[in-house]
Amino acid sequence: MIAELEELVTCESFSSDLAAVARSAKVVGAMGARHLGAEPEFIVVDGVTHLRWTFGEPKVLLLGHHDTVWPMGTLRTHPWSLVDGVARGPGVFDMKAGLVQTFHALAGLPSLDGVSVLITGDEEVGSVTSSGLIQETARGLAAAFVLEASADGGALKTARKGTSDYRVEVYGKAAHAGLEPWNGANAGVELAHQILAVNELAQIVDGGELPRAAATTVTPTVLSGGSTVNTVPAHARVGVDVRVSSLAAQTRVDELMRALSPTTPGTRIEVSGGPNRPPLEEAMSAELFALAQRLSPEPLTSAHVGGASDGNFTAGVGCRTLDGLGGVGGGAHADHEHVIVAEMPRRTELLRALVSAVLAGE
């Protein structure tokens, strides 16, 4: 398992480099073929390479991704290493350890009939080309197991917030800032009003009644505007990141974003974007987490997390979903990314037991 983890980590697969993602897909496909005894279906959508294996009439889906957030050349500064039982390298935790565990778990089954495996190539950039494929593959199945990295302490992820992305554009009128600013319509000033309004939307949706882990967040992020220091800005914009625990909250935020209106005379606003991933609500994971607790020889913990994954899509089409079954470690997207390799066989055995139980009708 360690040798195969090194093989995947040292094949860099930055999401934005489609050639690198294609090379990674070949490595992942060859590894899967060795374990599963079958070649994958390579699915290329808008240049992004995804892989899928299907055995018989699918009943259970194992879901992961092989792209990473790390730019090409990161291995020079973050090389593969294994020291004192801890593996490091770009993507080792998020989520190449999960891919190795997937193949080893399935290789130990007496039959793969009823199993589907989908490994996508653009999860880290929003699953733009794979979301439809994920939904198509998961729809009508009994369960989806997502091999994303675990939460702190190895906790399984039983709830994930849904995500929405917006851009608020303000259009005004340029004028000389020194000679006649009154003849302009300041898009920057209006943007300030909109940022303050957006910042209050979460309070409107939740009423301040939810704990922080479950609370809606509506966060103004990247902003820009204006052209020169002596010109009244004619254009300004801000990006908005939204995280929600329920579909009702996601719908309500969308309504409020669409209802934004300008307060500065002579300006107008446009709101684009919308929901990206539905929430993975705890109700969609409860039965599978209870099953995992019964099957695990060790106590299991669960976590609600703000980050989304492709498990949001499987839950969104009504497929029961359990997430965070991949590597145990930490530092996703950070310099200290790492995996505790002693946990890999244990997680592999748990995954194998879960798949066997669902195939048996539990």
Instruction: Single out the residue of 213, 204, 358 nearest to residue 294, CA to CA.
Output: 358
- C-alpha closest to that of 124 among 309, 274, 273, 279: 309
SS3 54: strand
Q: Are 146 and 316 in contact (CB under 8 A)?
A: no
Give DSSP secondary structure letters for 224-284.
EE-SSTTB--SEEEEEEEEEESSHHHHHHHHHHHHT----STT-EEEEEEEEEE--B-GGG
CA distance 340 to 337: 11
Select from 353, 293, 295 the least CA-distant residue to 60.
353
Rg value, the chain, Cα: 23
- The alpha carbon dihedral of 286, 132, 130, 35 has a sign of positive
**Cβ within 8 Å of residue 38, ≥6 positions away:** 53, 55
- Which residues are known to be catalytic? 67, 123
